[in-house]
Amino acid sequence: MPRRYCAKLSIYRSRRIRKHNIHQRHNPQYAGMTLKIALAQTNFLVGNISANVDRIVKAAIHARDELGADMIVFPELTITGYPAEDLLLRGDFIVSANNALYQLADRVDGIALVVGFPEHATEQGCDKLYNSAAVLHQGAILACYRKQALPNYGVFDEQRYFDAGNQPCVFEFNGSFIGLTICEDVWQDGIIAASKQAGADLLLTLNASPFNMGKSQQRESIICRQVKTAQIPLVYVNQFGGQDELIFDGASFVVDAQGDIVFRAAEFREQISVVEFDGHQPIKGVCTPLYTDITGAYQALVLGIKDYVCKNGFQGAILGLSGGIDSALVLALAVDALGADRVEAVLMPSRYTQAMSIDDAVLEAEALGVSHYTIPIEPAVEAFTGMLAEVFADPVKGEGRDAAGAIASENIQARCRGVILMAISNKHGKLLLTTGNKSEMSVGYATLYGDMAGGFAPIKDVPKLLVYQLSRYRNSLSPVIPERVLIRPPSAELAPDQIDEDSLPPYDVLDPILERYVELDQSAEHIIDAGFRQEDVARAVSLVDRNEYKRRQSPPGIRITGKAFGRDRRYPITSGYKGI
């Protein structure tokens, strides 16, 4: 079916329904009709169109044969996966996606499919691309809707790729008039109401709404308020899975016309569920409880590691295990994501590594059943120091830890570890996980080509205080991190008796400052006025501003807060701006 006709079909149906819908709503023939809608909370691979179509077909057959569904609704841009980013600028990719839609229409019968795809259209001699949803049934496209509200903030760049639609879409199916919306549409005032005005008895919304802590509650609060205002039930189907730094948590739900949630799917789990409608009203089903912020963040990190490793074809994961809190948490996350048999830990002590750090690292690896081995770095450090002796012979002025020579010596140790870990990663085909947290990434308390070397940074968006909370939560499931690790002062152990607070404010001071400056975009003056010491604010803000060049070279990491480094926060490296 040509795309132009598909668009006209949607508008035609909306106009016809506006004329006749009042009669149908009061017709006893339709009032008692039931409709079973399946919510396909599924995990797709961006760019793998053929595999995604196969998964759609498999899910639809399961919903039809095992669950008795009349219709199955998939997430946003199902066929390509979300977000496809600049793949959407490739003409061959768009052609493949549109061809796949037509082929899909012929592959499943006996159930209607609602799928998202990037719709190519030529209008008045101009090529257009829409974020669209198509309804497929019995080999035909019943309706096609074009997303109207294109988000262009935070992690979203939809205005870079798509043109905005401007019409509601309502179609008739089994005696019900059903409206279509896509993700951001239901966050904006007016679009739900317009669908109802166009004749919809209920709404389906296809979503790819990424996770951050508190997002599930925020999502439900906004949608329930919108639905209650419009007085129309809504089926909200959200994507599940990890895609680079983004995590999609699922938690699909159904809201009745009064704005109450009558069904909720599980978070962080692939699930196909069925909700039955009786006379356009959803019948109450199971409402799976939402996770707390801490438990949800932990699940998101596990899912992010699992999907990044598996979707990219790695054999497993490897990391450096120091005996500190950060690497202990990453090890536990990796094992929970992949299984102990696919994770390796490497201990790389130096002359400054304390015996208890080695002991604790071994206890962590043994508690989790992980293969581990020890490679002392002193021979490599001595070799590099000897090679650099002549260059380093010229004394560098400065005192204490901040002297350039001392920092260079510390960085050699970190870089020796990075070389060792990357060598093992290459040899074993396992992804190297870095162990730096958000507090460290914010202030540059990390070594380029050293502890920042690796392929994926699981806790890159986890502030240090949250690291401790997540670690204690993991220990509540089974004790895998020694208590001593949780209570001893954190240290990089690159110099004698070194602790983090030699260089940084205490984390219970630093983290709230960083949250205000990085995530909330508050000025230094505002932060000081909130009660923080000027010297602490000045130090933290200066470090954040100076270290953008480091963050730009760090591996991708899992986003769990409202603003992560990367897609969320894009600051210039070369800049005259000073936050203080």
Sequential DSSP letters for 201-219: SEEEEEE--B--TTHHHHH
Determine phi and psi for 482, rounding to 5 degrees: -55, 145
How confident is the model over 433-489, as pLDDT tens digits?
999 999 999 999 999 999 999 999 999 999 999 999 999 999 999 999 999 999 988
SS3 156: coil
Q: Is residue 29 predicted with pLDDT exceeding 80?
A: no
User: Strand order of the sheet with strand 343-347?
Assistant: 371-374, 343-347, 317-320, 431-432
Residue 65, burial from CB neighbour count under 10 angstroms (0-12, 13-18, 19+): exposed
Q: Is residue 6 predicted with pLDDT exceeding 60?
A: no
Average pLDDT over residues 85-102: 95
Average pLDDT over residues 147-173: 94
* Nearest Cα residue to 81 out of 267, 273, 248, 314: 248
As a whole number of angstroms, the distance between CA 254 and CA 234 comes to: 6
Q: Is residue 569 predicted with pLDDT exceeding 80?
A: yes
Average pLDDT over residues 75-101: 95
Determine phi and psi for 177, rounding to 5 degrees: -105, 115
Amino acid occupying residue 539:
R
As a whole number of angstroms, the distance between CA 59 and CA 237 comes to: 14
How confident is the model over 366-413, as pLDDT tens digits?
999 999 999 999 999 999 989 988 888 865 544 443 456 677 888 898
Half-sphere exposure of 108 (CA within 13 A, CB side): 27
Q: Is residue 181 predicted with pLDDT exceeding 80?
A: yes
List b or e across 189-214, with b for residues whose CB sees 16 or more CB atoms inside 10 angstroms.
eebbebbbbbbbbbbbbbbbbbbbbe
- Confidence at residue 472, expressed as pLDDT on a 0 to 100 scale: 97
- Provide the percentage of residues in the chain whose pLDDT is more than 90: 78
Higher pLDDT, 22 or 304: 304
pLDDT, averaged across the chain: 89
- Confidence at residue 24, expressed as pLDDT on a 0 to 100 scale: 43
Tell me whether the CATH fold assigned to 3-19+33-290 matches the one assigned to 295-503: no
- 168 pLDDT band (50/70/90 cuts)? very high
Q: Which fold has domain 3-19+33-290?
A: Nitrilase/N-carbamoyl-D-aminoacid amidohydrolase (3.60.110)
- Confidence at residue 494, expressed as pLDDT on a 0 to 100 scale: 65
* Nearest Cα residue to 117 out of 155, 150, 88: 88
- 22 pLDDT band (50/70/90 cuts)? very low
Higher pLDDT, 31 or 252: 252
Q: Is residue 354 predicted with pLDDT exceeding 90?
A: no
- Confidence at residue 399, expressed as pLDDT on a 0 to 100 scale: 46
* Nearest Cα residue to 25 out of 318, 302, 343, 281: 281
Q: Catalytic residues, which ones?
A: 76, 147, 183
- Confidence at residue 493, expressed as pLDDT on a 0 to 100 scale: 62
As a whole number of angstroms, the distance between CA 83 and CA 244 comes to: 10
H or E stretch covering 316: none
Asked whether 454 and 351 are in contact (CB, 8 A), the reply is no
Q: Is residue 526 predicted with pLDDT exceeding 80?
A: yes
Tokens of 248: 């999609």
| Helix orientation angle between 464-477 and 325-338, rounded to the nearest 10 degrees | 50
Q: Is residue 231 predicted with pLDDT exceeding 80?
A: yes
Average pLDDT over residues 203-232: 95
Rounded-to-5 percentages of helix, strand, coil across the chain:
45, 20, 35
SS3 493: coil
Among 11-15, 150-154, 278-282, top mean pLDDT goes to 150-154
Strand pairing class (253-255; 261-264): antiparallel
Domain boundaries, the chain: 3-19+33-290, 295-503
Looking at the structure, give the CATH architecture of the domain made up of residues 295-503. Answer: 3-Layer(aba) Sandwich (3.40)
- Close Cβ partners of 490 (under 8 Å, ≥ 6 residues apart): 324, 325, 326, 464, 499, 500, 507
- Confidence at residue 424, expressed as pLDDT on a 0 to 100 scale: 96
User: Strand order of the sheet with strand 176-182?
Assistant: 170-173, 176-182, 202-207, 234-238, 253-255, 261-264
Q: Is residue 57 predicted with pLDDT exceeding 60?
A: yes
- Confidence at residue 464, expressed as pLDDT on a 0 to 100 scale: 96
Average pLDDT over residues 42-50: 95
- Confidence at residue 279, expressed as pLDDT on a 0 to 100 scale: 81
- Confidence at residue 495, expressed as pLDDT on a 0 to 100 scale: 64
* Nearest Cα residue to 499 out of 464, 527, 536, 474: 464
Average pLDDT over residues 304-320: 97
Q: Please list the residues that pair with 454 across neighbouring strands.
A: none
Higher pLDDT, 430 or 579: 430
Q: Is residue 3 predicted with pLDDT exceeding 60?
A: no
